[in-house]
Structure formats: C-alpha cells, structure tokens
Structure 1
Amino acid sequence: MDPSSGEQQDFQTWTKGPYKISTDPSLIPLHTLNDWFASDDLYWAQSLPLDALEHSLRNCLCFGLYHHSPEDESSRQFVGIARCITDRVTFAYITDVYVHPSHQGKGLGRWLVKCIGEATEEMPHLRRSMLFTMDWERSVPFYEQVLGMTVAECKKGEGMAMMMRKGRGYPKSLGG
C-alpha cells in the first residue's frame, strides 16, 4: 500500500522451524529476486529493471520465504517466493512460485502454496484464484491436491494448463 494514502497494510506471517513466510514485500531483496528471474530456474520469467520489480512487488500479495538461524533471528536468508496478483477482494492470480534449490525437498513449496490458500480463503468475496502452468506431470497434480484447483478451458496434456479454484464470491449462477 502507498504509505501516503494513510492506509495501513497488515502483513501475515507463518513460522515452521527455522523458516518464516511473510507477506511484507519490503523484506524481499530485489537484487536476489532479479538474479533468480534471470536464471534458468525461473524459466517463465526474466529480470526486470529494479524500479519495475519493486513496483510489481508493492502491487502484489507477496509471500517471501526466509530461513534463519535459530540462534540469530537477524540472519534472515531469502529462499523462496510466491506472488498473487490480486485486488484482495474478488480475484487472485498465482505466479512465481519458487523455492531455491538449496532448500527444496523439505516440503517448503507445499507450505508456501498452503499459505497462499489460507490468505485467499480470508477473502470472503473471492470469485476465483487462477494460475497457468505447462508442467502437466508435477504442477497440475500438485495444485489440484494442495489448493483444490481444477484444469479449465484447455485440452488436457497439451500446451498451457489454465487452472482455477472457485472462491466464496464465485457467482452461483455460473455453477458455484
């Protein structure tokens, strides 16, 4: 939120052992995230000018994933991210879900996505959550299981999968 608007932004946090997820976008190190975007690991993205990246984060519901030493809380290391492009009322588009390879295999991606689910469940007028993926073998079953999403409007197994989860604000007239 724009601090000059007088609106207060409440950030959510979740903790799991030495890991923490925060929706405070100011904690996300821009240079590190941009390096990730420039890497082959995030094949769907590319780096951005830092002012554009900062603007993007400020206008999204961000989920930064951090690791810290139990002995030193200030040792926070940025290890993952997910973003929701959302109006925070009726719609959420999930994108840029990523856990750094050095922290994969610990269930952190699942936890990160579950936190997205919790945050969007708190939106009482949410009509739909959506995402796109081309990974039919891993991502489609993962999002079906973790978020209850379904594949919509495509030929299964071909091209990009558009997935959607109906929210509490989804119109009943459309079969909600």
Structure 2
Amino acid sequence: MDSMAAQLRRKQWTRDSYLISTDPSLIPMEQLTAAFDSDEFYWADSLPEQHMRELVDQSLCFGLYRVDGKTGTGAEAGPRTGTPGPETPSHPKQPHSPNLTPKLVGFARCVTDFVTFLYVTDVWVDRGHQGAGLGSWLIRCVQEVVEGMPYLRRSLLFTADWDRSVPFYERLMDMKVIECRKENGGLAIMERKGRGHPGFGMEGTGYKRA
C-alpha cells in the first residue's frame, strides 16, 4: 500500500489551459529558482541548486502550469501573497499528457509530515497570469488536500499582508488569526484545525480520549 506522502504527490487538477499537480518531478527547477529570485517573491531568495531540490522533495508542492506555452494576460496584480482574483472552483481531475511542455506560472509549498501537521508557505502566481482567479484555484486545491487528510491536527500559515491575505485565507481555507503582531511589520499567524483535532470532531485517532 502506498504511503500517504506518495498518494498526496499524485494529485492533479485541470482548468482550461492550466494544470495543477503535486508531482514534484514536474517542477522545472530553473523556472522555480527564477521565480524565487524575482521581485514578486519578495519574502525569500533562491537557494543553491541542491537545496532547492531538497526544498521541493521534502515538501508537498503544488505546481501551477500553463500547458500550451501561451503568455499571460498581463492583468493587474492581486494580494502580495501572489494569490489574486475571484473564487474559482477546481475542475475535475484529468490525466496529464506527457506531450505537453508545461511552463511554471504558480507555486505553493506545504511543509508537512503528511499525517498530522501542514504549514502553507511560498505561495506565488506569476504577475502575467494574475487577475484570472488562478491564485484562488491554487489555494482551493491545497485546501481540498488538507480536508482529505484524516489525521491532520492543524494547518498553519504566516502572513504580513493584513488587508488582503488575511481575508483571502479566511475565505478560501477557513483559517482564523490566532496571534497577531502588527507592530513593526509583524505577522498574522493563522490556523485551521483538521479532522484529527479534538476541536474538529476528532474523526482521526491522533489524540488520546479523556
């Protein structure tokens, strides 16, 4: 039987000419490094090649790809998390064609043990592809995976964008601010309890019962 990590790394969704996949082998490292080095990725820089690959291989990564090679719309930018646009539901899963040459236009990374804990970070959508709801779609796909983890105790994220990112993640991931440090550009720490948490009905068996 496949491990939970193996199962979660086989997810994919399609919408029009876009693909979202959790298969780490699809991520073009040169393109991901270029994204980290761009001014859009304002919160982090790229790492040496070996460590960029480790960053991907040791996380659950969601790659957003344009599969027909067309350029973006050039629409206006959204929230500073790189997650703009209106709500966009995920389309039914379809197989990825090996004949396509996807271009990486978005990314989200989850630091997780694949069972009880998940931390969302490094969410980015290329500026040329913003304004069409792709960021919302990307995060909805992340949340679909989160909701399917039976023993997950909590998911977390940090953001300094109070005006746009906090309401964005409240809406799309049902997260709540559990701690705030607004002074000096501080962070909002956001949390959502999972199915394995006692405060969420304790569907899983990750906690001892009193």
Give the alignment's TM-score, normalised by structure 2: 0.75
User: 1:15-66 deviations in whole A, cap 9, x for unaligned?
Assistant: 1111110000111111111111112111111010111010110011110001
Number of the residue aligned with 2:156? 130
Shift of 1:171: 2.9
Question: 89-98 or 158-167: which moved more?
Answer: 158-167
One-letter amino acid of the counterpart of residue 25, structure 2: S
Is residue 143 of structure 1 aligned with residue 172 of structure 2? no
Is residue 32 of structure 1 aligned with residue 58 of structure 2? no
Q: Is the 8 A contact 2:177 2:189 kept in 1?
A: yes
For the residue of structure 2 that corresponds to 1:116, the secondary structure is helix
One-letter amino acid of the counterpart of residue 146, structure 2: T
One-letter amino acid of the counterpart of residue 58, structure 1: D
For the residue of structure 1 that corresponds to 2:162, the secondary structure is coil
User: Which segments of 5 or more consecutive residues in structure 1 lack a partner in the other structure?
Assistant: 1-5
Following TM superposition, the consecutive aligned residue runs of length 4 or more in structure 1 with deviations greater than 6 angstroms are: none
User: 1:75-132 deviations in whole A, cap 9, x for unaligned?
Assistant: 3111110010001111100001111011100100000000000011111111111000
Question: 44-53 or 156-165: which moved more?
Answer: 156-165
Q: Is the 8 A contact 2:155 2:194 kept in 1?
A: yes
Question: 101-110 or 158-167: which moved more?
Answer: 158-167
Task: Give distance in 2, aligned partners of 1:101 and 1:22.
Answer: 20
Q: Is the 8 A contact 2:193 2:199 kept in 1?
A: no
- Which protein, 1 or 2, shows the higher relative CO under an 8 Å CA cutoff with sep ≥ 6? 2
Is residue 19 of structure 1 aligned with residue 33 of structure 2? no
Question: 163-172 or 89-98: which moved more?
Answer: 163-172
Number of the residue aligned with 2:49? 50
- Give identity over the alignment, percent: 51
For the residue of structure 2 that corresponds to 1:46, the secondary structure is coil
Number of the residue aligned with 1:9? 6
Equivalent residue pairs, number? 169
Q: Is the 8 A contact 2:65 2:102 kept in 1?
A: yes
For the residue of structure 2 that corresponds to 1:55, the secondary structure is helix
Which structure's residues are more often strand, by fraction? Answer: 1
User: Which segments of 5 or more consecutive residues in structure 2 lack a partner in the other structure?
Assistant: 70-96, 201-210
For the residue of structure 1 that corresponds to 2:56, the secondary structure is helix
Question: Against the structure 1 CA distance between its residues 165 and 66, is the aligned structure 2 distance closer, same or farther, given a 3 Å change threshold?
Answer: same
Give the alignment's TM-score, normalised by structure 1: 0.88
Number of the residue aligned with 1:63? 62
Task: Give distance in 1, aligned partners of 2:161 and 2:199.
Answer: 31
Shift of 1:156: 6.0
What CA RMSD, in Å, does the superposition of the two structures yield over aligned residues? 2.4
